[in-house]
Amino acid sequence: MSRKDTRTRNVTASGKAAASNKLTRRGFMAASAAGAAAAAFNFPTPALAQSAPFKLGLLTVKTGPLAQGGIQMEQGVITWLKAHDYKMAGRKVDFISADTGGKPAGTKTKAQELVERDKVDVILGPLAAFELLAITDYVRDHKIPTLSLAGADDITQRRPNPYFLRPSASSSQAMQPMGHYAATEMGKKKAISIDFDFAFGYEQQGGFQAAFEKDGGCVLNKLWAPLGTPDYTPYLAQMTGCDVICQGFAGSGPIAFMKQYANFGLKFPVVTGETGGDDALLHAFGDEAVGMINCAPYTLDLETDTNKKFAQAMVKNFNTVPGFYAAGLYVNCDIVDAGLKATDGKTDDKEKFMAALKAVKLKDTPRGPISFDHLGNVVGSFYIRRIEKAKNDYGLKLWNKTVKTYDNVSQFWTWPEKEFLSHPVYSRNYPALKKC
């Protein structure tokens, strides 16, 4: 049901088949055959009148291993648009969703499609850090405001892009409070971390290690598993002599890891970040995940009307509870809407529009209050949650219960910006392991 809905929206949004709202398989064959031909008759956009629709582009991943989060991203945007009658600051919204396939070259092509063919005013997405890195120069050259939840710390740190905003969290942002919490409130001293062997993993674990060691902890060892590995046994065997495990897996990784971790008989408490304890994974976790502590920029149990409305709309529209990806994109829409209101719906002066977006401060979004630092990264609340078997409104067996909220968390955690930026970006070897 949800899929059909999504697809219908795609078609109307792309404007080519606005006449028909249904896409049958046969209809598609004709459409695809005509695709190339239609290209030739693609009319140039007329000069923007004030009433012209606002064009909102989304780069997401709907095929391949990252699709689970990517589809949630699209669902978040559609939920926002449905709740606001497809209008932003009084202008009608044309929503165009593009599937990058999770590859940098595909992301570049799709970004070109959105910018050059569909003339979008704003890009939401992409999902993965390497996708974002492939288009960061392109969106800057074309002055297209881009709001993404991709990690890639340096895009808001050492290689800032003035046309980029990250309203979710940098890769290390949630892990820093997590490290602090593990060292102080949990009183842990020795950690072993494990993550996928790619930049997002390095940055997550770098943030955890830096914050954990700042407060007196020590990371004994950092383990790296190949992206998407099915078997964690060789790494589980190395987990000895510690009192806490920090995992940072994404996608379906956390589910497989926690199962094997429990089967291996390990009992150390596990902490993780926004992808490892995502609310959208709660239905897939088993009892082995009970007690896992995680830190996330969005929490399903945030007791505000805005969040409840959003979560209920997600359940109604797509029969699924929102996680970090859907909420992230919903908040992105809130920001675009607020920025557009600040410029009275005008987007022709791109610098002004971008400045308005960056100046947006919202008190009430599904993830709580947010604003941006001067580099375009979010400053907002981060929630430490504990997975429990608790009653909830959505019929889930497990539930993320917030145990502590850190307000106004910046990407620099408690370090002064200058000191933080003088270090290299978190990597496989930075911070280096100390002798404990």
Which residue bears the tokens 């102080």?
A: 184
Binding mask 314-343 for another protein (x = CB under 8 A): ------------------------------
E strand intervals along 237-292? 244-247, 270-272
Residue 35 found at the interface with another protein (CB under 8 A) = yes
Nearest residue (CB) to another protein, 326 versus 425:
425
Residue 76 found at the interface with another protein (CB under 8 A) = no
Among 138, 264, 394, 415, the residue binding another protein under the rule CB under 8 A is 138
Binding mask 164-203 for another protein (x = CB under 8 A): ----------------------------------xxx---
Strand order in the sheet with 87-88: 87-88, 91-99, 54-60, 122-124, 146-147, 164-165
Binding mask 36-75 for another protein (x = CB under 8 A): x--xxxxxx-----------------xx------------
Q: Are 175 and 207 in contact (CB under 8 A)?
A: yes
User: Is residue 265 classed exposed, middle or buried when 0-12, 13-18 and 19+ CB atoms within 10 A define those classes?
Assistant: exposed
* Alpha-carbon torsion, ordered 69, 74, 75, 76, to 10 deg: 90
Which residues partner with 346 through β-bridges? none
Which range touches another protein (CB under 8 A), out of 10-18, 205-213, 296-304, 317-325?
10-18
Among 21, 32, 240, 422, the residue binding another protein under the rule CB under 8 A is 32
Residue 275 found at the interface with another protein (CB under 8 A) = no
Which range touches another protein (CB under 8 A), out of 30-38, 171-179, 352-360, 373-381?
30-38
Residue 5 found at the interface with another protein (CB under 8 A) = no
Residue 46: count other Cβ atoms within 10 Å of its Cβ: 7
**Length of the chain, please?**
436
Residue 2 found at the interface with another protein (CB under 8 A) = no
Nearest residue (CB) to another protein, 3 versus 22:
3
Name residues contacting another protein, limited to 370-429 (CB under 8 A): 427-428
What are the distances in angstroms from CA 41 to CA 34, 44, 46, 110, 413? 11, 9, 14, 19, 52
Total residues at interface with another protein (CB under 8 A):
50
Residue 133 found at the interface with another protein (CB under 8 A) = yes
- CA distance linking residue 167 with residue 80, whole number of Å: 16
Amino acid making up residue 162: P
316's enclosing H/E stretch is: helix 305-318
Nearest residue (CB) to another protein, 84 versus 117:
117
Give the max Cα distance, the chain. 67
> Rounded to the nearest whole angstrom, what is the least distance from the CB of residue 114 to another protein in the complex?
9
Q: What are phi and psi of 351, to 5 degrees?
A: -65, -40
Nearest residue (CB) to another protein, 103 versus 259:
103
Name residues contacting another protein, limited to 200-229 (CB under 8 A): 200
Residues in Cβ contact with 27 at an 8 Å cutoff, skipping those fewer than 6 apart: 20
Nearest residue (CB) to another protein, 64 versus 216:
64
Among 308, 311, 266, CA closest to 291: 266
User: Is residue 379 classed exposed, middle or buried when 0-12, 13-18 and 19+ CB atoms within 10 A define those classes?
Assistant: middle
Binding mask 79-108 for another protein (x = CB under 8 A): -------------------xx-x-xxxx-x
Contacting residues toward another protein, per CB under 8 A: 3, 6-7, 10-11, 14, 16-17, 23, 28, 31-32, 35-36, 39-44, 62-63, 98-99, 101, 103-106, 108-110, 112-113, 116-117, 129-130, 133-138, 152, 198-200, 427-428
